[in-house]
Structure 1
Amino acid sequence: MTSAITTEFGTAIPAFGSGDSNHIITSHLPTWDATVAFGNFDMSMLMRIKTLYPRMMPHKYIAQLTEKIVALSGVEGKRCFLFPSAVSAAQCVEFATSENRGKGAVPKDNIFIRIFDVHIRVWAVFFPPPPPFGPDHKPPGVMGSFWSNAGVGLSTRQGADAMDHIELLHEVSATDPLTIAESSESFATLRKRITSLIQRAPIDEARAAKVTPDDVYLYQTGMSSIYSIHRYLLSSSRSGSTVLFGFSFHSTFHVFEDFGPGFKLIDSRTSENLDELEKYLKSEKDAGRFVQAVWSEFPSNPALTVPDLVRLRTLADEYGFILAVDDTIASFCNVDLLSTADVLVSSLTKSFSGYANVMGASAVLNPSLPQYSFLKHLFASDYQNDLYNADADVLEKNSRDYLERSAILNANAENLATYLVARSQLPDSCISRVLYPSTIPSVANFTPHLRRTTPDFKPGYGCLLSVELKTIESTIAFYDNLDVHQGPHLGAHLTLALPYVRGLHAKELDKVSEFGCLPTQVRVSVGLEDGAALREIFGRAVGFGDEAFKKEEQAKKAIA
């Protein structure tokens, strides 16, 4: 049996072993009531959170540096967000002042950029504080939206390093020379490692074009990779609309919604959905409109639906769009998608890093497909590397045991999914279904992309699953008695559970239910703990859920 969870509410989950917890990127937010409060932007609960995912809330080191910069600037009545480059700061201002923001737009004369040096350069965007939360519980303004969804803000280690040299803080002008730190060797090592992993045990050994380290691009966060590539395409000669094929991570929706001419969301669970996509592509072509890209997660978050990439590739070749695939959940050690995707994006924050203490991402261009030359030219003109040296160093160190950890994550998740499926088949079970790539019909779209088994690694279906309960009451009973850490993130060393839909889509439950995403689903990122102990923990929680479900059924019979 694993030890009972003793982590305090709203604080960072424990670091692996004796590791440093100062940069842990997720926190423990236990109980169903806390999830409901989070989804409703309940300030009484939010104020209790001491640390949260850095894109959702500026990390303590960023907050400390912000306070110092505001004090030095002498600016009163303003807040500010900090960025590592002039480009990202300017994009923030552009976003906030755009007429597309409607009534929430920041007046152009009420937002500005100031520049500061410590031992690194920081661009500070000053803006008026957002209005307080009203009774409708709306989140605080467009600035918070940009920080959260674009993912291009200052990193926790940049903030920490700046605070270590805070006595050097001074303001500079845009014309002052910028001291550029020597790039860490970790960047080259990471690109080589990702290249090797992307090409290991391929499905098609005869594939002529090989990925090289020059085809691997590194980013600050998973969302910054999606946001940046989307912006590249919007600025290109092939600019057009975007399709998101399948329900996806909530920030991905916001990026496509907030930047560009809009996007079309199409479900991905059936072959009829592909027919719908094809019909839409034809109608756009007939109307003289261009679809620049179709994006899809492999598999989707949180329902684990697996899109048919083979047919998507056929459509991409016919209609000329870029097929961009986010393989974060499957993880590229498990799947080979180079026969289908023009560009692969991966949040390295997740399984690749594995220890929940650093953020980063990669985009890999596929030299095997016709869009490669266009994309290569596009990246050459628009890409800039804002991943911080210290973050690259941690990613490099963490990922040395990526394959070994992934083998454990795969086994633990599949064994737990199998166990929970068995529990769902018992009489009066509270479990409606278990969503895991190997347990749902779309597994037929997953297995053709599994890498070959090698002596050192057997590919699997990843670390993420969702447990769908039959009723809200049984969901609450299950979740409140589930003795694992509870909060956002996936791919960590510790198991994490979260009623994802209820917490992140609280204001649109009817809409997301159309895509099979329900408030009775608990998303589970399985960790490195002992597999038997995890089954015992989940079995106990299912028992509480079963009991609650039985009581509900008995009450219904009594009324009848």
Structure 2
Amino acid sequence: MSVEIQTPFGTALPPAPRHAITVHAPAWKTMIRFKDRDPELFKEFKSMYPRFVLHKDVNEVSKFQARVHGADARLLTQDGQLTQRIITFANLDAEGQGCYIFPSIQAAADCVEFATSPARKEGTISRDKISVRIFMTHVPLHTVVFPVELTATVHGFWLNAGTGISSRLAEDSVEHADSLRELQPDEQLTTPTDSEAHSVIKERIAGLLNRAGTDSTRTVKVAPGDVYFFTTGMSAIYWVHRYLLKKYNSPSVLFGFSFHSTIHVLEDYGPGVEFFGLADESDLAKLEKHLSSQREQGKRVQAIWAEFPSNPLLNVPDLHRLRQLADEHDALLIIDETIGSFANIDVLSVADIIVTSLTKSFSGYADLMAGSAVLSPLSAHYSELKTLFESEHHNDFYVRDAEQLVHNSQDYLARSAILNNNAASIVSFLQSKALDPSSSVAQIFYPTTNPTHKNYTPFLRQPTPDFPSPGYGCLFSVEFNDMPSTIAFYDNLHIHKGPHLGAHLSLGLGYTLGIYGNELDWAGKFNLRPTQVRISVGLEDTQELLGVFKRAVKAADLEWKELRN
């Protein structure tokens, strides 16, 4: 592994395929610009996570629609927002209109509902100013058209719900552009069905969930039909939440800190969410009190959501206690096991629904977006949930993305073993530095170093010949004693820098500063601090990767020593 990263600033991780979902943005000063949502910074990015900034192929299909309708395509940015390259219908119905494209009428209609809600306040779009129009190429393109000055409102839905079209669907639509036409009101759309690739992945995921479980006597198995696909990991969370609202229309609970979009989805739709961000014993007591209070008022909580472990501090909630509380108060328990991952953990015995961002380590090569929700056949709610999902679910997961996921995930277990080993090795080194009072390293956040480790081990899968060492995944965070040491570490850590986890190459990110830099007091209540760096290890050689981290810590320690002297 080279000491210096050769990837140009603002481009994707090598080999940087057309549908890459990453960006390399080195240097701590870049994180400061990211925190400030510097428009010029996002203009420099040639690649980026597609929920944050629209992929170039998504832009291109919108550009083509504008051209077909005789419009002048314009390049637009929104100050104060994640800058986005949005080619719009500049003159589809009237001057100054924009469009976002979705794979289904359900997603487009929900976008309109979001944008017209009074909760958007000054960003609310009037019902007569937003519409859905359906255009056909080889597939229908459900296009939400709106006043371009309110693009930030619609982008908020795209960002958090994650329900937009994929870059592969957009690429293929441009290739079929000669057939583009607007659907007439009396034309009927066919319901998408599973392709062979969809079936292969369902069988693969079901097999992974059934293998090497914590209970060797278990006879009830996950069936491929219990696996449901979504366009992104966030859309899995979004649609599951929406399905449950249709049946129960009750508040939710988010137990433990989570990926930043999850809380927005639970807040923006439905009657609300109660957030217990520390997920410790005190929060368990508060949760029990909250559930009892709801029951006394004749109300119920429809679902308790929890990450296992959490992002970015890898805390592990007490799932047995959560299951007990869920049973006592007739709530569902939904577990996002993206970080722990299918290979390592078995939560079927406690979860009603398991949601996963397949974008991460399951895919593993940072070139597609996907998500899944799996119904646990062990759940007491299985039958009612099965009926609900069969009624509500619509397959928006594009066939070419499914085909790529079949290819990527075929070495999932082998990659997971490397990710586990690399993370464990780096964590062991950093933990030794954290115990050294002369070092700048203050603390390591990983399931094995956190006090909540005891909550993880009961769910570790059994060792097998094909996967002898189930572990703790690729993600950890490291905290330093002060900001100068943090910056020295970050700027001397010669791995790729940017959002994402579970990729083939290691990624570092000043997560707290970049995501919560403008609300640090709030984030600090949950132990998130700007002196923390989140790391997702990749598939590099372990010893070479250790060398990279040792050099970075040495630079941080020198900075720390100089400041103390």
Q: Aligned pair 1:29/2:39, yes or no?
A: no
Q: Aligned pair 1:41/2:37, yes or no?
A: yes
Q: Aligned pair 1:521/2:532, yes or no?
A: yes
Q: Aligned pair 1:412/2:422, yes or no?
A: yes
SS at match of 2:2: coil
| 1:64 matched residue in structure 2 | 60
Quick check: 3-12 or 342-351, which moved more? 3-12
Counterparts of 1:123-522 in structure 2 under 5 Å?
Answer: 123-130=142-149, 141-178=152-189, 183-236=194-247, 238-457=248-467, 458-522=469-533
Kept after mapping to 1: 8 A contact 2:257/2:279: no
Residues in 2 aligned to 1:3 and 1:469: alpha-carbon distance in whole angstroms: 22
Q: Kindly provide the amino acid, as one letter, of the partner of residue 52 in structure 2.
A: M
Matched residues, percent identical? Answer: 48
SS at match of 2:410: helix
How far apart are 1:470 and its partner, in Å?
1.1
SS at match of 1:126: strand
Q: Aligned pair 1:9/2:19, yes or no?
A: no
Residues in 1 aligned to 2:38 and 2:521: alpha-carbon distance in whole angstroms: 21
Residues in 2 aligned to 1:182 and 1:275: alpha-carbon distance in whole angstroms: 45
CA separation of 1:273 and 1:183: change in aligned 2, threshold 3 A: closer
Q: Aligned residue pairs: how many?
A: 541
Structure 1 residue ranges, 4+ long, deviating more than 3 angstroms after superposition: 177-183
Kept after mapping to 2: 8 A contact 1:269/1:442: no
How far apart are 1:508 and its partner, in Å?
1.3
Quick check: 328-337 or 156-165, which moved more? 156-165
| 2:133 matched residue in structure 1 | 114
Per-residue Cα deviation, 1:270-312 (whole angstroms, up to 9, x for no partner): 2121111111111111122211000000000001000000000
Per-residue Cα deviation, 1:317-362 (whole angstroms, up to 9, x for no partner): 1001010000000001100001111100011111100101111111
Residues in 1 aligned to 2:67 and 2:506: alpha-carbon distance in whole angstroms: 41
| 1:94 matched residue in structure 2 | 113
CA separation of 1:262 and 1:181: change in aligned 2, threshold 3 A: closer
How far apart are 1:552 and its partner, in Å?
2.2
Per-residue Cα deviation, 1:132-172 (whole angstroms, up to 9, x for no partner): xxxxxxxx632111000101100010011112222222222
Per-residue Cα deviation, 1:479-501 (whole angstroms, up to 9, x for no partner): 01110000000000000000111
CA RMSD of aligned residues (A): 1.4
Kept after mapping to 1: 8 A contact 2:245/2:270: yes
Residues in 2 aligned to 1:444 and 1:183: alpha-carbon distance in whole angstroms: 40
Per-residue Cα deviation, 1:337-389 (whole angstroms, up to 9, x for no partner): 01111100011111100101111111110111211112111111111110000
Q: Kindly provide the amino acid, as one letter, of the partner of residue 312 in structure 2.
A: P
How far apart are 1:25 and its partner, in Å?
0.6
How far apart are 1:180 and its partner, in Å?
6.5
Q: Kindly provide the amino acid, as one letter, of the partner of residue 17 in structure 2.
A: S
CA separation of 1:378 and 1:470: change in aligned 2, threshold 3 A: same
Residues in 2 aligned to 1:471 and 1:455: alpha-carbon distance in whole angstroms: 44
Residues in 1 aligned to 2:258 and 2:193: alpha-carbon distance in whole angstroms: 37
Residues in 2 aligned to 1:314 and 1:189: alpha-carbon distance in whole angstroms: 35
How far apart are 1:11 and its partner, in Å?
1.1
How far apart are 1:4 and its partner, in Å?
2.2
Kept after mapping to 1: 8 A contact 2:252/2:302: yes
Q: Aligned pair 1:531/2:558, yes or no?
A: no
Residues in 1 aligned to 2:324 and 2:190: alpha-carbon distance in whole angstroms: 48
Unaligned runs of 5+ in 2: 70-90
Residues in 1 aligned to 2:210 and 2:134: alpha-carbon distance in whole angstroms: 42
How far apart are 1:64 and its partner, in Å?
0.8
Unaligned runs of 5+ in 1: 132-139, 555-560
Residues in 1 aligned to 2:406 and 2:149: alpha-carbon distance in whole angstroms: 38
Residues in 2 aligned to 1:198 and 1:180: alpha-carbon distance in whole angstroms: 28
